[in-house]
Amino acid sequence: MKADDVKKLQQKKYRNEWRHFLVEGEHLILELHKAAFHSKKTQQHLQQAELFITEDYSDWVKDKLGDVFRTTVVGKKAMSQMSDTKSPQGIVAAVPFPPPAGQHEDAGLRTLYLHEIQDPGNLGTILRTLGWFGGYRCLLSPGSVDPYNPKVVRSSMGAIFHVLFGQDVSIEELARRCQSIACLDMNGTPLSRIRAGHHDAFIFGNEARGIPHEQLSALNVTTYTIPGSGTIESLNLASAVNMCVYELSQPD
């Protein structure tokens, strides 16, 4: 990829057209390197990522990464145009999209389904939680935030390289894939009573509108609630996901 094209990866239409996304900063580049070459299940498509660095990072790349990625040195002005941050570190990568996940790849993984989630910070934090606990795939409904949005990538802290996810999955398709679905509801069973093996999927709704109850009414959905004693009306979406995934990860 040409250096002049990398800055265009900040826009969704170019990410989808070229099937690459932008990664920026030391931590994410190190996570990219680990996922590409040193994780338990290396991902060969990540090995095709291309680095773009300022001269200041030449020694850092040789020391931390070796010569495994194709690397191009650019000026600081060009780097500032590529960067999505106000104070660029001086290192970015153009990373290929993963190939479509096969059935054998996500077999046995529990499903977290996000319906029309909009906040990139929430999605990044959720991916980070799933990456911490392991054993989950993340499915996004049509109309959800782009998982390759630079803000999602940054807030995932590298989890985007380690968590399988799918896009544009309708609730109907979710129902075909999963036999037992759970969600949060103010009148549900206390979340502490949930058992991981009882459900194939857990669905979470839009930050403002919540879950689409009219679409779920035809499904066999089990509801749970997170009891609270405070005065506010709701939890942040990512916080609610964190609590649910923690409970789901406890042994039966």
pLDDT digits over 87-134, tens only? 889 999 999 999 876 554 666 788 999 999 999 999 999 999 999 999
In three-state form (DSSP H/G/I as H, E/B as E, the rest C), the secondary structure along the chain is: CCHHHHHHHHCHHHHHHHCEEEEECHHHHHHHHHHHHHCCCCCHHHHHCEEEECHHHHHHHHHHCCCCCEEEECCHHHHHHHCCCCCCCCEEEEEECCCCCCHHHHCCCEEEEECCCCCHHHHHHHHHHHHHHCCEEEEECCCCCCCCCHHHHHHHCCHHHCCEEECCCCHHHHHHHCCCEEEEEEEEEEHHHCCHHHCCEEEECECCCECCHHHHCCCCEEEEECCCCCCCCCCCHHHHHHHHHHHHCCCC
Amino acid 69: pLDDT: 97
Amino acid 43: pLDDT: 86
pLDDT higher at 167 or 3: 167
Q: Is the pLDDT of residue 182 over 70?
A: yes
How do beta strands 91-96 and 50-53 pair?
antiparallel
CATH class of the domain at 3-96: alpha beta
Q: Is the pLDDT of residue 73 over 80?
A: yes
Amino acid 70: pLDDT: 96
State which fold the 103-248 domain adopts: Alpha/beta knot (3.40.1280)
**Ranges 21-30, 69-78, 122-131, 200-209: which has the least confidence:** 200-209
Q: How confident is the model at residue 230 (pLDDT cuts 50, 70, 90)?
A: confident
Q: How confident is the model at residue 38 (pLDDT cuts 50, 70, 90)?
A: confident
Amino acid 204: pLDDT: 94
Instruction: Output Rg (C-alpha) for the chain, integer angstroms.
Output: 20
This prediction has a pTM of 0.91
Mean pLDDT over the full length of the chain:
90
Q: Is the dihedral of CA 118, 119, 125, 128 positive or negative?
A: positive
- For the chain, the distance separating the N- and C-terminal CA atoms, rounded to the nearest angstrom, is 49
Q: How confident is the model at residue 196 (pLDDT cuts 50, 70, 90)?
A: low
Average pLDDT of 218-247? 86
Distances in whole angstroms, Cα of residue 123 to Cα of each of 105, 126, 236: 22, 5, 12
Amino acid 105: pLDDT: 61
**Helices 237-248, 120-133: crossing angle, 10 deg rounding:** 10
- Looking at the chain, the whole-number percentage of residues with pLDDT higher than 90 is 63
Q: How confident is the model at residue 54 (pLDDT cuts 50, 70, 90)?
A: very high
Q: How confident is the model at residue 252 (pLDDT cuts 50, 70, 90)?
A: low
Amino acid 132: pLDDT: 95
Domain residue limits, the chain: 3-96, 103-248
Amino acid 15: pLDDT: 97
Give the whole-angstrom CA distance, residue 130 versus residue 127.
Answer: 5
